[in-house]
């Protein structure tokens, strides 16, 4: 009970105060731009919060449906990319030769701008769903592989030597020692990649897809000031999808690797 009240006082209340304060400032600046500064297209630049909220509520069904399409495809691509990243990290940790062969190309692949790669993939595949999955997976695999590899190599040498002294089989070393040690690094990569995967899926939708939150976003951008609130609503939904993906990874991390210092009670003791 005390922990719950402390959590509410230390985490929830400050967050609520920050959000409420930002919304009040946003509403005040929007009113000032429209009525005092007489800024052209003031509502396009910073619309009233209550109008955006009203639009969100009014079109919640459409936004949920299209947001679900984006999130679903991004999720599939994210899982495939994460699996590829984990496999690549394990292979590189097993063999220096594989690392020397694969790592430079993995780094080079990240030099290609997503903004240029997305239309190329979409032009080749000609399938919006597959394109979103490929781009989301492409964005995901590198941060996962990099952080997983670092985690696999963060094992305490004395523990590793102890297992070797008992002639423990290599797969057992990985299962009982390296994988648990790599979990914090793995989840760091997953938390970086998850929102990026959503962004990648939205980017593909902007190329001419038929479904997804990016499609609604683009259409309302073309319609101009008359659809300002709907455009801002799609932007907020896109941001919420990214945040939801990050929170899901944080929740999974808390469940899978609860021994980490930030999840322990105050003082960081076990």
- Is 80 exceeded by the pLDDT of residue 5? no
Q: What is the pLDDT of residues 39-66, one digit of tens each?
A: 888 888 889 999 999 999 999 999 999 9
Mean per-residue pLDDT over the chain, rounded: 88
CB contact set of 111 (below 8 Å; sequence gap of 6+): none
Using a pLDDT cut of 90, give the percent of the chain over it: 49
Q: What is the pTM of this model?
A: 0.85
- Predicted pLDDT at 266: 57
Decide: 147 and 188 in contact? Cβ < 8 Å.
yes
Band (270; pLDDT cuts 50, 70, 90): very low
**């769903």: which residue's tokens?**
129
Neighbours of 231 (CB within 10 A): 23
Q: Once rounded to an integer, what is the mean pLDDT over residues 148-172?
A: 87
Which pair of structure tokens corresponds to residue 267? 């003082």
Counting Cα atoms < 13 Å in the Cβ hemisphere of 168 gives 17
Query: SS3 of 208, please?
Result: coil
């Amino acid at each position: 009970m005390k922990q719950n009240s402390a959590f509410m006082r230390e985490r929830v209340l400050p967050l609520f105060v920050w959000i409420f304060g930002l919304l009040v400032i946003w509403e005040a600046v929007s009113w000032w731009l429209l009525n005092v500064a007489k800024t052209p297209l003031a509502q396009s630049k910073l619309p009233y919060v209550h109008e955006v909220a009203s639009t969100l509520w009014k079109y919640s069904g459409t936004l949920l449906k299209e947001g679900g399409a984006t999130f679903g495809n991004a999720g599939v691509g994210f899982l495939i990319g994460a699996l590829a990243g984990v496999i690549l990290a394990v292979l590189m940790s097993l063999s220096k030769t594989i690392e020397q062969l694969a790592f430079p190309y993995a780094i080079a692949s990240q030099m290609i701008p997503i903004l240029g790669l997305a239309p190329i993939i979409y032009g080749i595949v000609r399938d919006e769903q597959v394109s979103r999955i490929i781009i989301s997976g492409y964005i995901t695999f590198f941060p996962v592989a990099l952080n997983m590899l670092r985690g696999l190599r963060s094992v305490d040498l004395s523990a590793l030597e102890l297992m070797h002294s008992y002639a423990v089989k290599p797969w057992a070393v990985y299962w009982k020692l390296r994988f648990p040690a790599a979990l914090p690094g793995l989840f760091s990569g997953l938390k970086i990649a998850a929102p990026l995967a959503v962004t990648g899926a939205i980017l593909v939708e902007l190329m001419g897809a038929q479904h997804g939150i990016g499609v609604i976003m683009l259409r309302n951008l073309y319609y101009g000031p008359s659809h300002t609130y709907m455009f801002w609503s799609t932007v907020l939904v896109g941001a919420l999808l990214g945040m939801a993906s990050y929170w899901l990874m944080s929740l999974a991390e808390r469940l899978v690797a609860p021994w980490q210092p930030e999840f322990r009670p105050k003082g960081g003791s076990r």
